[in-house]
Chains A and B, each alone.
Chain A
Amino acid sequence: MAEKKKAGAFDIRIVIATLVGIYGVVLTILGIVEKQAEIDKAAGININLWGGLGMLVFTALFVLWARLRPIAVPVDAKPADE
């Protein structure tokens, strides 16, 4: 029945993780080489560094999720009435 159909042609979680991961790397590097003037602009927070690191953590979590629960084949084959 419909349940056997794949939920779309690709896993959106990987796409999201890739984009956010690239952003994370770029911002983290920017944050490491940040000039003091830029940090002062953001009220003393090195927002590129912290934002970038936050995005890398997010990426790791999303990849982990996609690995643990892939979409193509349903992982739990338990019957419907538990």
Chain B
Amino acid sequence: MLAQQSILRLDATAIDYIIIALYFVFVLGIGYLARRAVSSSLDFFLSGRSLPAWVTGLAFISANLGAIEIMGMSANGAQYGMPTVHYFWIGAIPAMLFLGVVMMPFYYGSKVRSVPEFMLRRFGKPAHLVNAISFALAQVLIAGVNLFLLATIVNVLLGWPIWVSVIVAALIVLSYITLGGLSAAIYNEVLQFFVIVAALLPLTLVGLHKVGGWQGLVDKVTASPGGSEQMSAWPGNALSGFGNSFLSVIGIVFGLGFVLSFGYWTTNFVEVQRAMASRNMSAARRTPIIGSFPKMFVPFIVIIPGIIAAVVVPELAQFKATGSGEVDYNDALLLLMRDLLPNGMLGLAITGLLASFMAGMAANLSSFNTVMSYDIIERYLIKDRPDDFYLRTGRWVTVAGTLIAIGTAAIASGYSNLMDYLQQLFSFFNAPLFATFILGMFWKRMTAAAGWIGLVSGTATAILVFVLSENGVINLPGQGASFVGAGAAFVVDILISVLVSTMTRPKEESELVGLVYSLTPKEQRTEVVLRGDHGWYRRPVLLAGISLAMTIVLNIVFG
């Protein structure tokens, strides 16, 4: 990206810098204010389980609305067009609803403090260790990606060297998380959500006006190298990498929709942690469901600007036509901002990007420190100390995680399409995890040994598919290799788990109450209606139904 400085340099003036600086004052202020609420490790790691559902719901999607999402999805929008919406409408939404309706009662009801801790209670230590370590590793890697992207933006904007930006950005995130813990991260995520919308919505509207409205965009994309298929979501051949339309639909629905996305949204502790921080079972179940409503409209302010950029920004249109040039798809949003926004709104747009990158990184770090402190240090390394000790440990682990993320930022710079890189990581960890969880939650016969053996063999399968596709043995362009890898990992995990379960001894049924569906009494799985949970609009299952219906309508309208 260094060579692109001159092309991408945004024409920021004093007023833009004031807008950016103001935001950082608020971010650090929230960290300071949230500190007053931290008096125990549960306050620090899970916000004392006290937050209202709309706060955790917005934090739930904001934690995911990081650099990878914003830049990666607008890059995908520029490259593939409308099929990118599948990441939201086929991928995210059904999985989020499933988490709220089906899985959250077990997470929240069993009072575990993290997803790996659920693993520990259901499957014992080996599965717990595998899960905790692979999760912690993935989080610092992804935090590195977010950090790197943040630094490139600052590099483009201010001309600061990448390493200076990396360190400054890391210090800001570090200071508010070590001060206020998860509350600071969550409150900042809510603030970030509104800033991101305030930044990207005007950009989208100006962009749409520029191309002559929706019909103008359809005409321009149809005439561009992308062609008309880029303006309809289905069948999305270019995205999935399958030439056959039928296979493409199957690949998207099962690979992306079922395995990858369910794996990500339902077992990723970054997300689940936000719901665990809410004040009761009803609020915990509503967290992902409330989040799904704004989530279904995020594509309009992320993917659409990417599509617009590919037809109105000359450099990007040339890159799309010839495959070479000084810019690439990851620059789509920046180029559009450069060309369309006046000073003032430009500053706000830059703030929105910085906010999103910090949201992502903060989310990674705040879940990393919880898993490291509760699941690895307290459980295996330094046991039975007073709570105060683990609170301090959490703060130091955050510092260590930040340092590692600075290191992994370098890894991220080696990939042209960050989304590909991230999908690979997710297929390693999340798809087999989802298989193990879902089998463990609904099949009481599944044994502890099956838990970890299934997990390891599933992960190994994903890595094998990755290696085969890198060496050209499996030839699927686009995201197809990820879909296949995730699907294979899921199937292998289920098969091996069933096989091992039949040969080993299951856990006592009394130990599985609250963890397995058939052994958990209904009262424990459903919420007691408490003060503040009245009204039809606060009923999780009904809300989920409305969300699902709206998503189906969106799929039909933009199909």
Q: Which residues of A contact B (CB under 8 A)?
A: 2-3, 5-10, 12, 15-16, 18-20, 22-23, 26-27, 30-31, 34, 38-39, 41-45, 47-48, 50-51, 55, 58, 71, 74, 76-78, 80-82
Contact = CB atoms under 8 A, between A and B. Distances in A.
Contact of A51 (B34, B51, B191, B202): B202
Given A19-B26, A27-B345, A48-B342, A3 B206 contact: no
A3 B36 CA distance: 19
Nearest to B29: A15
Contacts of A6: 50
A22 B18 CA distance: 11
Contacts of A26: 15, 18-19, 344
A23 B348 contact: yes
Given A2-B279, A9-B37, A19-B23, 12 more contacts: A8-B47, A15-B29, A15-B30, A34-B342, A42-B206, A43-B206, A47-B341, A51-B198, A51-B348, A58-B198, A76-B532, A78-B531
Contacts of A12: 30, 55, 187, 190-191
A80 B529 contact: yes
Interface in B162-181: none
B251 interface: no
Interface in B3-38: 15, 18-19, 22-23, 26, 29-30, 33-34, 36-37
A39 to B, nearest CB: 7
A15 B528 CA distance: 32
Interface residues of B, number: 47
B52 interface: yes
Nearest to B340: A42
Given A19-B22, A44-B209, A45-B209, A8 B187 contact: yes
Contacts of B29: 15
A10 B31 CA distance: 12
A2 B191 contact: no
A41 B345 CA distance: 12
A51 B345 contact: yes
B194 A16 contact: yes
B49 interface: yes
Given A8-B183, A9-B37, A71-B52, A43 B210 contact: yes
Contacts of A22: 22
Main secondary structure on A side of the interface with B: helix
B48 A5 contact: yes
Interface string B465-485: 000000000000000000000
B279 A47 contact: no
A38 B342 CA distance: 5
24 contacts: A2-B50, A3-B280, A7-B51, A9-B33, A9-B36, A16-B190, A16-B191, A20-B194, A20-B198, A26-B15, A26-B18, A26-B19, A26-B344, A34-B342, A39-B342, A42-B206, A45-B205, A45-B206, A47-B342, A48-B344, A51-B348, A76-B532, A78-B531, A82-B534
Given A8-B37, A20-B194, A38-B342, A30 B15 contact: yes
Contacts of A2: 49-50, 279-280
B50 A55 contact: no
Contacts of B530: 3, 80
B209 to A, nearest CB: 5
A43 B206 CA distance: 7
B19 A23 contact: yes
B279 A74 contact: no
Contact of B531 (A27, A38, A47, A80): A80
Contacts of A47: 202, 205-206, 341-342, 345
A46 to B, nearest CB: 9
A26 B34 CA distance: 27
A13 B206 CA distance: 28
Given A7-B279, A76-B531, A42 B341 contact: yes
B195 A19 contact: yes
Contacts of B344: 26-27, 30-31, 48
Given A15-B30, A47-B202, A80 B528 contact: yes
